[in-house]
């Protein structure tokens, strides 16, 4: 059985690493945008402007990652024996071809994939199509969701 406390610590470490990467990218873009060698010489010379937009985007990304980090730091661990899927649940799914997928219902950071104990665990939120389909579902329930334009079906094999 997976220790969700350790999983959350791994997610927090992953988010911290992503924040550091985004901060470094924002600093690089800011330095490029403000470098006197990148002052526009004509209206078609947009390197400085593009770098400024990139710096702004990276700064926005840092804010999103910080919000996700705070959400995971404040996440209350749900007990392993709860009967339905909720935020904080670790859910094992089986598709029609018997391929297994493990998802963690997080408060944010949907789409991130964490390698943990030799498993790939995808973080999803209840706002995602799959997360919405899983909300309040129980073990052995069959759920369907439209993902990337096609319907997928899963059977819930475990919730912890």
CATH topology of domain 90-159: Chitinase A; domain 3 (3.10.50)
- Contact call for residues 91 and 134 (beta carbons, < 8 A): yes
Residue labelled with tokens 């959400």: 71
H or E element in which residue 81 lies: none
Please give the biggest Cα pair distance in the chain: 66
Which residues have CB under 8 Å from 6's CB, separation 6+?
116
pLDDT for 72-100, tens place per residue?
Answer: 999 998 887 789 999 999 999 999 999 99
Mean pLDDT across the stretch 118-133?
96
Antiparallel, parallel or unpaired: β 150-159 and 119-124 = unpaired
- Contact call for residues 91 and 83 (beta carbons, < 8 A): no
Mean pLDDT across the stretch 32-42?
73
> Where are the domains positioned within the chain?
4-73, 90-159
* pTM assigned to the model: 0.87
């Amino acid at each position: 059985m997976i220790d969700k406390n350790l999983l959350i610590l791994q997610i927090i470490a992953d988010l911290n690493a992503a924040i550091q990467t985004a901060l470094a990218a924002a600093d690089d873009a800011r330095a490029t945008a403000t470098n006197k060698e990148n002052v526009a010489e004509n209206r078609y010379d947009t390197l400085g402007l593009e770098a400024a937009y990139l710096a702004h985007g990276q700064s926005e990304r840092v804010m999103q990652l910080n919000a996700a980090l705070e959400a995971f730091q404040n996440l209350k661990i749900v007990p392993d024996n709860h009967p339905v899927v909720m935020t904080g649940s670790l859910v094992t799914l089986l598709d029609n071809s018997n391929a297994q997928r493990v998802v963690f219902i997080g408060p944010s950071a949907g789409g991130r994939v964490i390698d943990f104990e030799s498993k790939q665990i995808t973080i999803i939120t209840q706002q995602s199509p799959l997360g919405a389909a899983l909300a309040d579902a129980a073990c052995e329930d069959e759920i369907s969701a439209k993902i990337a334009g096609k319907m997928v079906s899963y059977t819930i094999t475990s919730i912890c």
